[in-house]
Amino acid sequence: MPSNVEIKAKVSDTTQFAEKAAQLSQSEATIIRQHDTFFNCSQGRLKLRDFMNGSGQLIFYERPDTDGPKLSRYSISPTNDPTSLRTVLSDALGVKGEVKKERRLFLIGQTRVHLDTVEGLGDYMELEVVMRPQQTVEEGQQVAEDLMVQLGVSKESLVTGAYMDLLLKGREETQG
């Protein structure tokens, strides 16, 4: 199963972050709109990512809910009919929740740098260090931590869990 090391953090100045990321990647961002539907499942997370253009991906992944760099193992299956797949999975498993975001993607070395504006949450950045064969988790974590420093991401801004978790937590706090 492929894996990556991930870090997620809140971003207070998106313009400054985007400028640093563009400098490091030596390119402008690719803008991607995504509508993720998370389904109930017994282990890990299962989501359908709809790119809002008739294509999508069914993604299963497992990772610990801790702040800082963490290893994520995943498998992905492309789909050309995310709408009907969402219907089938919703009927079979039930929907845990949905995340809608606009993602600006920068590629820096082996790392996918995302600057995300998440509906209902705000602005975040996510680093995904795509692990190479025989590369250790520690090496991947070091790549992520070095990039955090270069991008000006503080340890205080790190967050745990997925956007789905943050949205569900926010909903519980407003209802509680």
Euclidean distance between CA atoms 122 and 127, whole angstroms: 17
Which of 133, 86, 128 minimizes the C-alpha distance to 110?
A: 128
State pLDDT tens for residues 100-139.
999 999 999 999 999 999 999 999 999 999 999 999 999 9
What would the mean pLDDT of 23-45 be, rounded to a whole number? 97
Euclidean distance between CA atoms 80 and 74, whole angstroms: 20
Contact 55, 77 (CB under 8 A): no
Return the exposure string of 121-157: e unless at least 16 CB atoms fall within 10 Å of the residue's CB, then b. beebbbbbbbbeeeeeeeebbebbbebbeebebeeeb
**pLDDT, the chain, mean:** 94
Domains of the chain: 3-175 (2.40.320.10)
The reported pLDDT for the residue numbered 175 is 66
Upper half-sphere CA count for residue 54 (Cβ side, 13 Å): 0
The pTM score is 0.91
